[in-house]
Amino acid sequence: MNLKKKFLAAVLGGAMLFSGSQALANPAEFQHMPMNQEQIAENISGWVNHLSAEYGVDSAQVEQALKNGVHIRDVQYAAIISKLSGKSFSEVLAMKMDWLQVAKKLGVTREQFENFYREKMSEKLAQDAFTDVKTVQSLIKDGYNPQDIIIAGKIANAAGKDIKSVLSKRKINNTWIDVAKSFGVDAHKFMPPKPEQTRE
């Protein structure tokens, strides 16, 4: 199987971008970080460049690792540990036995993973909600869930309003559809499909 086919198989198998607080507890049960997998699958070099820029690893080393048959999950995890530990990507990758043991050996703590995960999730939420990371972190601290933040952000963006003013309209006796209508926005395109809508 060539590099592109292996890459696509890994993407379709859900092996992309693992992180989170569970990583240290059980590396086999990493959590998926939301990304546009179709875009990644269309451009291997784009993903490699993203990994290089995001974690400061050498793109040539990443490409070589993939060509050598290293699983994308392992490439991603090695890049994360490299960034958090200050060790080179190739040095971390060469240490692989059990990623939990590698992380502990390099002094990477659970708290570092948790902070890293929260930061990346906040960045993704901010992008999806058309707002900034600081606002997202503040809203999460106030108890808003990620799905509501994304929907409110999309409504706010469509209506040219502030996300907090949109969130304030969501009450126990109304829906996001009602909130959107109050701002002159059709929210149906923002809402996840109901189960019956996904059936053939």
pLDDT of residue 166: 92
Q: DSSP label at 34? A: P
Q: Count of domains in the chain?
A: 2
Coil, strand, or helix at residue 35? coil
One domain for residues 7 and 75 = yes
For the chain, give percent helix, strand, coil, nearest 5: 65, 0, 30
- Nearest CA to 191 among 144, 148, 139, 140? 148
In a domain, 165, yes or no: yes
Q: In this predicted model, which residue has the larger pLDDT, 97 or 40?
A: 97
Distance CA 117, CA 120 (A): 5
Is residue 173 over pLDDT 60? yes
- Nearest CA to 161 among 182, 189, 139, 140? 182
Give the structural domain span for 159.
129-197
One domain for residues 12 and 77 = yes
Is residue 34 over pLDDT 50? no
Is residue 22 over pLDDT 70? no
One domain for residues 97 and 7 = yes
One domain for residues 33 and 96 = yes
Site of tokens 């058309």: 130
Average the pLDDT over each of 21-35, 42-56, 125-139 and give the range with the smallest value: 21-35
One domain for residues 91 and 142 = no
Confidence of residue 73 (pLDDT cuts 50, 70, 90): confident
Site of tokens 């060469």: 94
The runs of H, that is alpha helices, within 106-199 are 110-128, 133-141, 146-159, 163-167, 176-182
Total number of residues shown for the chain: 200
